[in-house]
Amino acid sequence: MKRLFRILWHALALWGLVSLVGGAYVGFTVLRSYDLTPRQLVVKAARKFGVFPEQVAEAVKPGPRYHPEALRGEPVSGHPRILFSAKESTFRLRSRYETDTAFRKQVDGVGSGQGIMNGAVAWVCRGDEAAGRSAVERLLEVVLDTPRAEGNYGNGLEMAFTYDLLGDHPAWSPEKRQRLNLKLRKNLEDSMLVLDGGSASLWHGRTQLAASAWVVAAAMDPQGPEDMALRAQAQRHFLESVEAFRLSGGWPEGYNYWINNRAFPFALACLAHLHAVKEPALNALMADTLTRLGLWTIHGTEPIGRFALFGDTGPRNDLKDETQRVIDLVTLGTSLPIFRDYSRYLTGLHGGDAYYSGHRWGIPLLRGLAEWDHGAEDALKDLGVLEGRVPRSAVFGRHDGMGQVFIRSDWGPEATFISFQAGHSFTHHGHYQAGHFTITKKVPLAVKSGTYGGYTSPHRLHYYIRTVAANSLLVLRPGEQVRPNRFFETNVADGGQRIVMPTGSAVVSLADWRANLHRGRRYEGGRITAFDNHDPRFVYVASDLTGAYNNTHYDDNERGGKVERVERSMVYLTKEDAVVIYDRVTAVQADFTKKWLLHSWSKPETAQERVLVGDQYNGILESKDRRAVIQREGAALQVHALLPQEAVLRKVGGPDYRYYVEVDGDDEDLDGTNMEAGASEQPWFDAGLWRLEIQPEEKRKADRFLVGLKPGLAGDEGSLPETPVLVDAGAAEGLLWGHAVVLFGKEGNIVHEVSYQVPEGIRPMFHLIVNLPAGRAVRVGAGGSGERLRVNEEAAVTFQTSAGPARRVTVQIEGT
C-alpha cells in the first residue's frame, strides 16, 4: 500500500511539474507573441474568466512611471487653451465672422450641423450662445470610454477638446463644471494606468495615448494636488513621445498608421503645450516638432499625390481625409506659409474630400486665425509653389532614427522622386528593408513590392515585411533559421535582414529601446553615414547596412554571421536626372549567393533572355545583358549594371512568381514558393509583378555592385548617352555618365591617390569623389593644371574640368 502511495505521490508530483513547466511555456509564448507584460496577462485572464477583475486589476495596479514634483512651466488659466489661447483668439474669430462673408458662410454651414463639435464651433466662431448651450448639455451626457493599450484609446481627447472650446460659455455652473472635470480626471487616471504599465508600445499606441492624455490634462481644471500631479505625469509621458518622434524622424509604422491614428492627437497635443503652459524652451521644442512633422509630410509626398510607401501601408497614403486637418494644425502652430500652401495643394488634390466629412467642422476653426483662408478657388494642382522655398531633398532621423531620405528633381508634377531608408527597428509595423529605395516619375517605376493583407498571413510574414520584397540586397545562407516567434511555423530563409518584432512591439519607453539597441532584442538595422545636399548638382547618401543582417558581431542563428560588411551609397545627379548606386558586400563564406534587387510593375526588357522556370511571361528568366529597360504608362527606367563585371540578370515575375521566395536559402535549385496567401490586391499598394536580380556569376566572399538608373518620360531621352562608362581609378571606381564622373572608394575610405582618364572633347565636366578623409586637403591635377581643395564633412569633394583633349585627372590626398 505504501509503495502504491509513493507511486501515486511521485506521479502527482511529476504531473504538477509538467503542468508548471507547460503553463510557464504557454505563458511565455503568449507574452512573447502578443508582447504582454505579466501584469497585463493576469488582468486579461481575470476578465476572460470573470474572476474578480476589478479587484485583480487594483491588486496589480502599476506605480507611477514618473514622479515629477510639478508641471514643467507655468499653467495657463482660462479657456480656450488647447487649439489657441484665450479670449484674444476668440475675439479675432468673431470679428472675422462679422466682416468676412466667406468665413461667415463656412461657420454657418458648420453651425447648422447637429454634432457637439458643430455647436462648439458655432459658439467659438460666432458667439452663438444657444448652440453653445446645447453643446454643453450634450457634452455632459457623453459616456466615458475607457482607454486601452491598443485598439481603443478612449474618448478623453474629444471630450477635453470640446470642453476647452466651450469652457468660457455662461451655461457652465460650478456643479456642471465639476461633473465634467471628474470625467476628465477619471479618463486621465485610466490613461495613467496604461501608460505607467508595460503594455503600450512607444511608436504605436503609447504615443497616441500619451498625446490624448496630455490634451485631457491641459484642458481639465485641477481641483487639488492630486489633479496637479496627474497633469504633471501626463506632461512627462507626452514629452517622451515628442522625444521619440524627434529621434525616429517620422513615423516608423508607415504613413497610414500615422495619419489615421496618431497624427491628429500628437499635433493637437503640441498645440496644447504651446497654449496651456508658459515654458519658452519646451514651447520652442513644440513649435520645432510641428515644423519637422510638416516638413516630413511635404518631403514624403510623391509628385503623383501620395505619401511614399513604406511599412505596413494602407489607403490613406493617398493624403485624403486626414492629412489636411493635421497640416492645418501645423500651420496654426507654426504660422509658416509653406504649410498653408501645402494645404492648398491637398484641396487641389481632393477638393472637399481632403477633410473627412465628419471632421469638416475643423475647416473654419483651424484656419480662421490665418491671415487669409483658402477655398476651392485657391487650390493648387501641384507643389510647384514650393520651388525655391523648400529644399529638394532632406533626411529624417539620420542619427539612430529611421534614416529616411527624400529627393526630387524639382517640385513639379512630372519630377523624378526618390525615397531611401536605412534605419533601425522601432515597431512591429515596420519592415526589414534597410537600403531600400523607390523611384517615381509620372508613375512608380522602382517600387516596394507586396501588400498589407492578413497580419499573420504567409504573404506578410514571409514576403511583404522582408528584404526580398524591397529594392535592397540579399545574401542567401542555406538553412538560415528565421523564426522570431510562434507565427513563423514554417522556416523561410529568404536571404534578407534579421526580423526582430514582426507581430508585436515590445518597446515601452525610450530607455527600453536604447537598452535593446546593439544588445538584448537587437533593434539595430542600417544607419546613414553621410548625407550631402549642399551642392545643387547632386545629392549623396551613404549607409552602413551591416547591423541589419546576421553579421560577425551578432547572429541570431549563432553561426558566426553571414556577412562581414554591407554598405550602400547612392548619388542623384541633378542635371543628368540619374541615380547611381554603389554597394560593397562581404559575406562570411564565398558560397553565400548575393543578389541586388529591383522591383517593378512591368517586366524588365533585355535584348536576350532564356527561361529557367515557367515561361517568358510567368516564371524565372535569365539574361547576360548589361542593360534592362522597365516601361510603364508613358515612363521608363533604364537599368545599367556595371559591376560585377561578370554578372547575370534574373527576371522573376508573372502571376505565379511575383511573390517568389527561395525558402531554403539556396537558389541552386529553383524550388521556392510564391507567397501569395494573404495578399490583398488593393489599388493603394505597389504590389509589383516583376523583380530584377543582379547576381555575380562567380561566387566569392566580397563583391561590389555598381548600377546606374535613368528614369524618363516617353519620347524624352534627355541628354545622357545610352550607356554609362565604368571608370577604374585605382583606389576608387565609379562611372562616367554624360558630363559627370562619380567615384567611390573600393574599400571605403580612400587612402591612396586616385587617377583616371577623361575622354576628349567633353564640355565642362563635373567630378564627384566620395569616401575621402573628411576635412583633409587634396590636390587635384588635370592636364598640367592643379588646385588645392578640402574634403567636406561628408567625405566628398567636387571640382570641374573644362573641355579639351583627353587628359588624366589625379587626386592626391595631402599628408599621405
**H helix intervals, 114-224:** 116-126, 129-140, 156-166, 174-196, 207-219
Distance CA 381, CA 392 (A): 18
For residues 183 and 189, is the Cβ–Cβ distance under 8 A? no
For residues 788 and 757, is the Cβ–Cβ distance under 8 A? no
Q: Which residues of 700-731 are buried (b: 16+ CB within 10 A; e: fewer)?
A: eeebbbbbbbbbbeeeeeeebeeebebbebeb
Mean pLDDT rounded to a whole number for the chain: 92
Q: Which of 404, 598, 572, 434 is nearest to 500 (CA)?
A: 434
Distance CA 423, CA 545 (A): 9
The per-residue pLDDT for 593 is 98
Report percent pLDDT > 90 for the chain.
Answer: 84
Tell me the pLDDT tens digit for each residue of 696-739. Answer: 999 999 999 999 999 999 877 555 667 899 999 999 999 999 99
Q: Which of 507, 581, 509 is nearest to 545 (CA)?
A: 581
- How many CB atoms within 10 Å of residue 71? 21
Residue holding cell 577623361?
A: 758
pLDDT over 80 at 6, yes or no: no
Q: Is omega for the bond preceding 644 within 30 degrees of 0, making it cis?
A: yes
The per-residue pLDDT for 375 is 84
Q: Which of 25-39, 321-335, 454-468 has the lowest mean pLDDT?
A: 25-39
Across 806-810, average pLDDT: 91
DSSP for 516-557, please give it: TSSSTT-----EEEEEE-SSTTEEEEEEE-GGGS-BSS--TT
Across 650-674, average pLDDT: 97
Across 268-284, average pLDDT: 98
pLDDT over 50 at 746, yes or no: yes
The per-residue pLDDT for 67 is 87
Distance CA 418, CA 412 (A): 14
Distance CA 493, CA 357 (A): 46
The cell numbers describing 717, all together, are 531621352
Q: Which long-range contacts (CB under 8 A, 24 or more apart) does 83-87 make?
A: 83/161, 83/164, 83/165, 83/268, 83/271, 83/275, 83/332, 83/365, 83/366, 84/271, 84/275, 84/332, 84/369, 85/275, 87/168
pLDDT over 50 at 33, yes or no: no
Q: Which of 447, 414, 411 is nearest to 310 (CA)?
A: 447
The per-residue pLDDT for 32 is 47
Distance CA 601, CA 632 (A): 8
Tell me the pLDDT tens digit for each residue of 286-312. Answer: 999 999 999 999 999 999 999 999 999
Return the bridge partners of 419, or none: 406, 438
The per-residue pLDDT for 493 is 97
Return the bridge partners of 809, or none: 756, 782
Distance CA 743, CA 780 (A): 14
For residues 597 and 471, is the Cβ–Cβ distance under 8 A? yes
The per-residue pLDDT for 762 is 75
Distance CA 531, CA 569 (A): 10
Distance CA 20, CA 36 (A): 20
Q: DSSP code of 400?
A: T
Q: Is omega for the bond preceding 80 within 30 degrees of 0, making it cis?
A: yes
pLDDT over 60 at 10, yes or no: no
Which stretch of DSSP H or E encloses residue 770? strand 765-770
Tell me the pLDDT tens digit for each residue of 461-479. Answer: 999 999 999 999 999 999 9
The per-residue pLDDT for 8 is 58
pLDDT over 70 at 247, yes or no: yes
The cell numbers describing 555, all together, are 547572429
Q: DSSP code of 424?
A: -
pLDDT over 90 at 37, yes or no: no
- Interstrand relation of 404-408 and 416-421 (parallel, antiparallel or unpaired): antiparallel
For residues 223 and 278, is the Cβ–Cβ distance under 8 A? no
pLDDT over 80 at 356, yes or no: yes
Across 757-785, average pLDDT: 90
Tell me the pLDDT tens digit for each residue of 564-597. Answer: 999 999 999 999 999 999 999 999 999 999 999 9
The model's pTM is 0.93
The per-residue pLDDT for 343 is 98
Across 20-46, average pLDDT: 52
Tell me the pLDDT tens digit for each residue of 45-85. Answer: 665 666 655 566 566 668 888 889 899 999 999 999 999 98
Q: Please report which confidence band the pLDDT of residue 339 belongs to, taking 50, 70 and 90 as the band edges.
A: very high
pLDDT over 50 at 262, yes or no: yes
Distance CA 87, CA 277 (A): 16
Tell me phi and psi for residue 100, to 5 degrees.
Answer: -110, 110
Q: Please report which confidence band the pLDDT of residue 373 belongs to, taking 50, 70 and 90 as the band edges.
A: confident
The per-residue pLDDT for 315 is 96
Return the bridge partners of 812, or none: 779
The per-residue pLDDT for 1 is 55
- How many CB atoms within 10 Å of residue 621? 24
* CA atoms within 13 Å, Cβ hemisphere of 445: 30
Residue holding cell 497633469?
A: 231
Distance CA 392, CA 382 (A): 15
For residues 329 and 82, is the Cβ–Cβ distance under 8 A? no
pLDDT over 80 at 104, yes or no: yes
Distance CA 265, CA 181 (A): 20
pLDDT over 50 at 401, yes or no: yes
Q: Please report which confidence band the pLDDT of residue 649 belongs to, taking 50, 70 and 90 as the band edges.
A: very high
Tell me the pLDDT tens digit for each residue of 593-628. Answer: 999 999 999 999 999 999 999 999 999 999 999 999
Which stretch of DSSP H or E encloses residue 3? helix 2-34
Chain centroid offset of residue 673 CA:
29
For residues 338 and 290, is the Cβ–Cβ distance under 8 A? no
For residues 139 and 180, is the Cβ–Cβ distance under 8 A? yes
- How many CB atoms within 10 Å of residue 23? 10
Residues in the chain: 816
- How many CB atoms within 10 Å of residue 248? 25
Q: Is the dihedral of CA 96, 101, 106, 110 positive or negative?
A: positive
